Amino acid sequence: MDSVTVSIESLQEFQVQEVSLDGQETYTKPLSMSESLAKLAHKIDFTKPEGEEIDGALADEDKDTKKADVKEESPAVQAVQWPWESVHSKLRCALTEISVLSDILHICRWAKDPRYMVLDPVSQEPTQSKQIIQLLDKKKSLGVAASVLKSGANRMMRQPLNATTASPQKSQHQNDFHADLLRLRQHWRLKKVGSNILGDLSFRTAGSRFWHNGTFEVTKITDVDCDATEKKNVTPLKVTIPSDIEGTSHIQVLIQEGEAEIATASLSQPSRSRVSADAHWQERLEAAQTVLFCKEVFAQIAREAVQLRSPVPHIVVGNQIFCTLFPGVRLCLALCHNTSMDSQVGTQSYRTGLKCRYHLGYQSTSSFDFRLGIEPLRQPNHSHALEHSLHQLLRELHRSNLSGTTPRPITASLTVSKKRRLAGPQAISRKELTDSQQGECLLEKVLKQAKHIVLRKRVADVINQLSSDLQDPVILVHWSAHTQPLVSTAKIHISTSGYEQMAMILLQLTVEVDQIRVLCKDGRVIHANYEQQQLKDLLRCQISQHQIACVFSLSKSMNMHVLHYNLHLGVGSASKLGNASSVLISTHHGQRTLAVRSDPLNGIRVQVKGCKNPHDTEQKSNVVTDPKWETIMTDYREVDMDRIPGRTFVNKMELLMAVLAS
Amino acid sequence: MTSSLPGVNLSNLASSSVPSLQEFVLQGSVVDSACDALLHRLRALCDNVDRAPETFQDHEMVYLLRTSGPGNPVVLRARHARDQHNMPWNYSYFCFDLNAPSFFRQLRYLGQSDISDKSRLVTVRSYLDCSTSEQLPQFLTDIGFRLDHEFVAKGHMFRKGKMKVTITKIFKILTPGNLEALEPLSISQLVELSIIAPSGTDGIGEDMRAFAEQLRPLVSMEKI
């Protein structure tokens, strides 16, 4: 098939202008380009706004043609001289209007002299909204809200009716979760982040600046098995605690004496309390908070232990810190964390630290016999006081972080202390200011308390041992009931039983952190340090002087003459400890003399002069018959105090004096 | 700490051992009737929830020294707390008047706010203060300062970390010298968030803005 050629040509349809008599049609010429442009431009009405031009083109065309006809008809005078005439005139009108506006604006706004024209805002009348419409609007929106609430309430009310039919546990489950959540919110701070409910275990709001944020998550247990719900204590609320603060923990403080090695200190002993994973969320959360607190305490102490400079440096090993209190006495602090969830004795537990066991091991003469470090089954005597004070100190630190003194006047700086603010006007010296600013850190405070505890125990031990060894002067000690963490006081009475009126030693002991202050009756103040021997020596000296003082006052009541009384004797062999004291007494008839010398270490020696030795046979002379001549040349003879009957030394002395005086 | 007097260049101070402090400020105001709601909200947001908010009553006197030559006059503020009773350190009386006001005054200099950084969220101005004895007004007058105006400020203070939030009602003193006849200046109270920190500390503006957002519908805090 051949392709068919199709030719396209425009219709030659032009408007017929006239038909001549001979049938010839005269067509109107088609408009040339410029003519058609003129025609279109003529159609643009510059007085109308643009939007109205777009719609209804046909209607506009009709209107335009009508207007064109009207314009052509009425002002016959205005002959269309050139096709652009109307456009030109319209533009000219527009230009006139614009220039008028511009002139007005110039005169109003930018003229130097505002006398001629001023722009003022026109107050608009407030639009009065019809109140009835507003009322109807509100009624409609409230109706919509009410319908939503009502449908929800109906659904909830219908639920108990469905209890017998579908998933009874589920609805109860639902109620339990929200009720539990309410109870949880009463104890802990919760917040909703996205779709999760998070809680806060940390002490941030109390002033802590620990790095751990302590957030726990609260979720709902979605799958409900029938077996689980039969138990009464199952709640659909599940609390997820971060693994590093789960379980229980406590700080153990151990004061060790002797040469125990570090290795033996880390005994595996179960922690005090245990919380299983099935416990109620309140228990678990409280335990976790304690764990966090203990962690913070330990971190603070460890940091200070590393930074502090002390004569014997502190050792920090893993979860243990060793500090030297006195030579031979060591304080061990440890963080014991038990994460095991089963009830067995810590087989799977993650055990770390030291215990706070207050444990003393005398090696030499002691009635207590501990074997250092081997106490597998014995529950250690934890020093609760020290642990409690650790907790309290950290809480104080938190409080000081949080609150300071109010700046007065209120615009003063918030962060400096009141003393620093008033340092200027009060003329405080630089030294005073620096001293007051350097506070003690946590570890130093704990060390002081521990030292005090050790010292107090030592003093008590010394006195108890001495009082059990020596029965002759009775040693009584009264410890003051009011004690402070760093100072304790005690009163010591030493007296001979039966002869309390004769002489008594009163000593006031003040046990401080590093030393013991002893106040004697005569006003002397003696400082003893942590060595136990010093206190023992002091007491021994006092006792020896006491015996002599007793004899002295006894002799006065026995009507004997005191020839010599000296508490610090300068004759005879020097005593190795303190001073020897002595008293020289003679009977009222002067025939016999009693010499007593007391040495703190060597005991008491009693010698008598004027007693005839019965074994000494001398020839009696007939010339010298007065018995007094027989006693002149006698020597001092020692008395064996053991063979003299009497309960105490003073008792014996009384008997002796009575015998001599007769 | 030295106070700034005319002739002392602040840039010299910056190089010395005295740290130059800056005050970061946001201000807003709240009408008296809405003040209670704001106090409740601040009490919950700030530290020390369990304690009642601190109240204060201060009397401030603003002194001006006109420098010869161009430039703004130097402004110094002398402020003392009217409700605090400090025993003077050289107290030698056996009975002292409990109604006697505090003996110590605070001298404060606030520089012009730093407008160099337009993107900064809070107003920053240099801040210098020191504590002085009670003869401060006399001293300032002797040097050449003239009392420009004085007012009494009463209100509450809250603290959150380093930030201080004060809600102040400013009173006009009707007769100079008589501090009992007071008249409130307006029906609203001034709310101010301020932190005083060494110059160059970053991040303070963001923290303050974040806190100011929480007070949003009650009071809107802006730069000065």
Which residue among B47, B102, B106 sits closest to A411, beta carbon to beta carbon? B106
User: CB count, 10 Å around CB of A154?
Assistant: 9
Instruction: Note the pLDDT of residue A651.
Output: 93
From the candidates A408, A416, A419, A433, which should be mutated to test the interface with B, based on the most B CB atoms within 10 A?
A: A408
- Helices A442-469 and A532-557 pack at an angle, to 10 degrees, of 40
Nearest CB among B103, B106, B159 relative to A412 is that of B106
CA distance B4 to chain A (A): 16
Any domain includes B5: no
Q: Is A92 helix (H, G, I), strand (E, B) or coil?
A: helix
Q: Which residues of A touch B17 (CB under 8 A)?
A: none
Report d(CA A450, CA A354) in Å as an integer: 15
Q: Which of A175-179, A281-285, A299-303 has the lowest mean pLDDT?
A: A175-179
Task: Tell whether B15 is covered by a domain.
Answer: no
pLDDT given at position A150: 95
Whether residue B56 and residue A410 make contact (CB cut-off 8 A), yes or no, is: yes
Show which of residues 419-438 on chain A sit within 8 Å of chain B, judged by CB atoms: 421-426
Nearest to B81 among A402, A409, A414 (CB): A409
Mean pLDDT for the stretch of residues A591-599 = 91
What is the spatial distance between Cα A184 and Cα A201, in angstroms, rounded to a whole number? 12
> Measured between beta carbons, which residues in chain A are less than 8 angstroms from residue B105?
409
Residue B89: list chain A partners with CB under 8 A: 426
Place A376 in a pLDDT band, splitting at 50, 70 and 90: very low
Contacts of A402 in chain B (CB under 8 A): 47-48
pLDDT score, position A172: 66
Q: Are the C-beta atoms of residues B180 and B4 closer than 8 Å to each other?
A: no
Quick check: A408 contacting B, CB < 8 Å? yes
What pLDDT score was predicted for residue A53?
Answer: 47
Residue B84 falls inside a structural domain: yes
CB contact under 8 A, A406 and B157: yes
Are the beta carbons of B56 and A424 separated by less than 8 Å?
no
Q: What are phi and psi of A26, to 5 degrees?
A: -105, 120
What are φ and ψ of residue A613, in 5° steps?
-75, 115
Looking up residue B172, the CATH number of its domain turns out to be 2.40.320.10
Chain A: nearest CA to B148, how far in angstroms? 19
Q: A430 vs chain B: nearest CA distance in angstroms?
A: 13
Number of folded domains that form chain B: 1
Q: Has residue B88 been placed in a domain?
A: yes
Within-domain flag for B132: yes
In-domain check, residue B224: no
Domain of B142 in residue numbering reads as 20-213
Distance CA A461, CA A469 (A): 12
A94 contact B CB<8A: no
pLDDT bin (cut points 50, 70, 90) of residue A648 is very high
pLDDT at A626: 73
Radius of gyration of chain A measured on its C-alpha atoms: 56
Percent of chain A exceeding pLDDT 70 equals: 79
**A to B CB pairs, distance under 8 Å:** 61
Min Cα distance B78 → chain A (Å) is 10
Residue A105 sits at the chain B interface (C-beta within 8 Å): no
Q: Which region among A85-94, A217-226, A388-397, B98-107 has the lowest average model confidence (pLDDT)? A: B98-107
pLDDT value at A525 more than 90: yes
Lowest mean pLDDT among A536-545, A547-556, B91-100: B91-100
Q: B-chain residues within 8 Å CB-CB of A406?
A: 54, 56, 157
Chunk chain B into consecutive blocks of 10 residues (it has 224) and report each block's average pLDDT, rounded to whole numbers: 48 61 91 92 84 88 86 87 64 45 81 78 88 89 92 91 91 86 91 88 86 89 86
Q: What tokens does A179 get? A: 């009720």
Q: What is the DSSP string of A123-152?
A: PPPPP---HHHHHHHHHHHHHHHHHHHHHH
Give the per-residue pLDDT at A51.
Answer: 52
- pLDDT tens digits along A212-248: 988 999 988 776 554 544 455 567 888 888 888 888 8
Which residues in chain B belong to E strands, given as ranges? 21-31, 54-65, 74-81, 105-113, 123-132, 146-160, 163-173, 182-184, 188-198
Identify whether B85 is part of a domain. yes
Mean pLDDT of A42-57: 60
Nearest CA in chain A to B58: A409
A424 neighbourhood in chain B, CB within 8 Å = 1, 130-132
Give the residue on B whose Cα is nearest the Cα of A401.
Answer: B161
The ipTM, to two decimals, is 0.72
Per-residue pLDDT band for A144 (boundaries 50, 70, 90) equals very high
Q: How many CB atoms lie within 10 A of CB A615?
A: 5
Q: What is the pLDDT of residue A373?
A: 33
Distance from CA of A528 to the nearest CA of B (A): 39
CB distance B3 to B107 below 8 Å: yes
Indicate the pTM of the whole model: 0.64
Q: What is the DSSP string of A591-626?
A: S-EEEEEEETTTEEEEEEESPPPTT---PPPSS---
In 3-state terms, what secondary structure has residue A31? coil
What average pLDDT is seen over chain A?
Answer: 79
Of A48 and A525, more confident:
A525
Residue B87 inside a domain? The answer is: yes
pLDDT in tens, A403-443: 677 777 788 877 777 778 888 888 888 888 888 777 788 88
Q: Which of A400, A402, A411 is the best substitution to test chain B (most B C-beta atoms within 10 A)?
A: A411
Confidence at residue A269, expressed as pLDDT on a 0 to 100 scale: 46
For residue A553, pLDDT over 60 is answered with yes
Nearest to B1 by CA among A99, A401, A413, A353: A413
Over the stretch A311-366, which tens digit does the pLDDT of each residue have?
Answer: 888 989 888 888 988 888 888 888 888 875 543 333 323 333 333 333 333 222 22
- CB-closest option in B1, B106, B133 to A409: B106
